[in-house]
Amino acid sequence: MGPVLDFGVVSDALPALLWGCLGTMGLAVAGMVLAMAIGIGGVLARGSRIAPVRTATIAFVEIIRNTPFLVQIFFLFFALPQLGLKLNPTVTAIIALGLNGGAYAIEIIRGGVQSIHKGQTEAGLALGLHRAQVFRLVVLKPALRAIYPSLTGQFILLTLTSSICSSVAAYELTSVAQRIESDTFRSFEVYFTITVMYLAISWIMMTGFAVLSRQYLSYPTR
């Protein structure tokens, strides 16, 4: 019987765990990019002139937001191969995270877009901008500025949710930890350590978001 607490196994496994951290961050960032694309596309689809497109978007948002991520990722894990898409677990995990985050992003971005006064769009068109330019510059960018805190909060949640992707054996921190745990039986030490690592990852992400907003969303000073 060894000592009650033994963090030695954790320090031996540190390189593997740090690679796992990178895996989690990569998974999260890829998921966010996909979620952002779905979010913006979904807002456009939600305001489409074709009724079935609108209905399908609403159904997508409601189904994703009212079922657990664990069930969604299992469903995709088995459903994608049936569609002829034989993907590795990590890619499946990115798709699942993107779809999940995308549904929330649609609702958040839509709230921001609705907060932009109609007169702004009209002013943009009157100045001779294309519809696409008006959407990108006059509607989307100020909308993102307004909803940035809730959107990034949702993306932090997406990063934490990525730990669930370990259940389909995607490459990320939790699945690395589970492998180390089954080799060493030091469950508490391993999970306690990676909990601290997740806390650090969310802080890194929040700092990243703050920098990003200063770079791209601040008002021009010159």
Partner 1 sequence: MGATFGLAEFGFLLSGLRWTLLLSVIAFVGGGLVGLAVALARTGTSAVLRRATAGYIAVFQGTPLLMQLFVVYYGLGLIGLQVPAWAAVAIGFTLNASAFLGEIWRGAIQAVPSGQSEAATALGIRYPARMRHIVLPQAFRIAQPATVGYLVQLIKGTSLAAIVGFIELARAGQIVSNQTYQPILVFGVVGALYFVLCWPLSLYSARLETRFAANAR
Q: Which chain residues interact with partner 1 by CB under 8 A?
A: 4-5, 62-63, 65-72, 74-75, 77-79, 82, 156, 160-164, 166-167, 174, 187-188, 191-192, 194-195, 198-199, 202-203
The nearer residue to partner 1, 125 or 160, going by C-beta atoms, is 160
The nearer residue to partner 1, 50 or 83, going by C-beta atoms, is 83
Q: Tell me how far, at minimum, the Cβ of 92 lies from partner 1, in Å.
A: 13
Q: Tell me how far, at minimum, the Cβ of 207 lies from partner 1, in Å.
A: 13
The nearer residue to partner 1, 133 or 187, going by C-beta atoms, is 187
Distance of CA 36 to the CA centre of its chain: 8
Quote the CA–CA distance of 33 and 110 in Å, as a whole number: 17
* Residue matched to tokens 């031996």: 12
The nearer residue to partner 1, 113 or 138, going by C-beta atoms, is 113
Q: 107, 63 in Cβ contact below 8 A?
A: no
Q: Tell me how far, at minimum, the Cβ of 181 lies from partner 1, in Å.
A: 9
Question: Which runs of consecutive H residues, i.e. helices, occur in 115-186?
Answer: 118-126, 131-133, 141-161, 173-184
Q: 21, 163 in Cβ contact below 8 A?
A: no
